[in-house]
Structure 1
Amino acid sequence: MTNNKLLRMDNVGIVVESLDNAISFFEEIGLVLEGRANVEGEWAGRVTGLGSQCVEIAMMVTPDGHSRIELSRFLTPATISDHRNAPVNSLGYLRVMFAVQDIDEMVSRLSKHGAQIVGEVVQYKDSYRLCYIRGVEGILIGLAEKISK
């Protein structure tokens, strides 16, 4: 047995153009806005390697309080790359997966925010119904509904 010092995964960061739209989208999924603030200063630039920066962030938390998404909008420096609409077989981070109670109902609610299913809702054995969705600003998320027996 190893002596693992890992406590938990704290959050996943997503850079967006509109915090308000992203907050609305993730609230529709069921996350709650935990806080919103500007992060700037010499210390912040040392962490990211960007030097002088000013970033507006919003921390979203899941209902169980265990998982978070940190949404960031860079005021300075400006964003320099955009890979949000890359296909799912692109290198790098792929998506965030959410467990939901009713996948069809969630897809319907998210479509009102402009979200679109990437492929289709599929069933994996007798275990899960799954789909990928492109949400606000092209953010890729996954939805999984456990099938009750």
Structure 2
Amino acid sequence: MPIKLENVGIAVRDIDATIAFFTDLGLTVTGRDTISGDWADTAVGLDGNHAKIAVLKTPDGHGQIELFEYLHPDAIETEPTLPNEIGMHRIAFSVDNIETALELAAKHGCYPLRGVATYQDVYKLTYLRGPSGILVMLAQDLTKG
């Protein structure tokens, strides 16, 4: 059976702020909607499911994320995931220039957890906290250009 990854879904506190963060990094909004109704309750498994959603695509056209801001039921605040916790971990992006990407992230109040590391002269990479505490990895391939 062929299988294809469609997107990664992320529940967020403020969909507009999160869209601004990811579009500054280079993703493009391909759709926005507000969803509710029996079909949404059934698909998600929440009664009275009502959410704002947005789908964003990476510039290469292969990756997508889907953001949800729940209107009902109320969103549940949790502690941000730590890098060593079991479960959904992080979203990772390759960037042409990590310093430029970090400048864009800083405009949204998002900074590296510790700093930028170099892995075997192959990658410069870092983890940062994006909007709603999302762990975002940025990596620059040093073997290109």
TM bucket (normalised to shorter chain) is over 0.9
Q: Distance in 2 between matches of 1:86 and 1:103?
A: 23
Residue 137 of structure 2: aligned partner: 142
Normalised TM-score (structure 1): 0.91
RMSD: 1.3
Residue 113 of structure 1 deviates from its aligned partner by: 0.8
What residue is the counterpart of 1:95 in the other structure?
90
Give 4+ residue runs of structure 1 displaced > 2 Å after superposition.
none
Note the 1:35-74 alignment, pairs <5 A.
35-74=31-70
- Gaps of at least 5 residues in structure 2 are none
Consecutive unaligned residues of structure 1, counting only runs of 5 or more, are none
Per-residue deviation, residues 69-127 of structure 1 (Å, max 9, x unmatched):
101011111123423x2321112111000000000111112111100101211111121
The count of corresponding residues between Structure 1 and Structure 2 is: 144
Name the CA distance, whole Å, in 1 between partners of 2:93 and 2:22.
Answer: 11
**1:109 and 1:48 mapped to 2: Cα distance?**
33
Q: Deviations over 1:18-63 (max 9, x none)?
A: 1110000000110001111011110111111112211110111111
Rounded to whole Å, the distance in 2 between the matches of 1:65 and 1:86 is 28
**2:111 partner amino acid:** Q
Equivalent residue number for residue 31 of structure 1: 27
Q: Is the 8 A contact 2:129 2:136 kept in 1?
A: yes
Q: Output the CA distance in 1 between the equivalents of 2:95 and 2:76.
A: 34
Identity %: 38
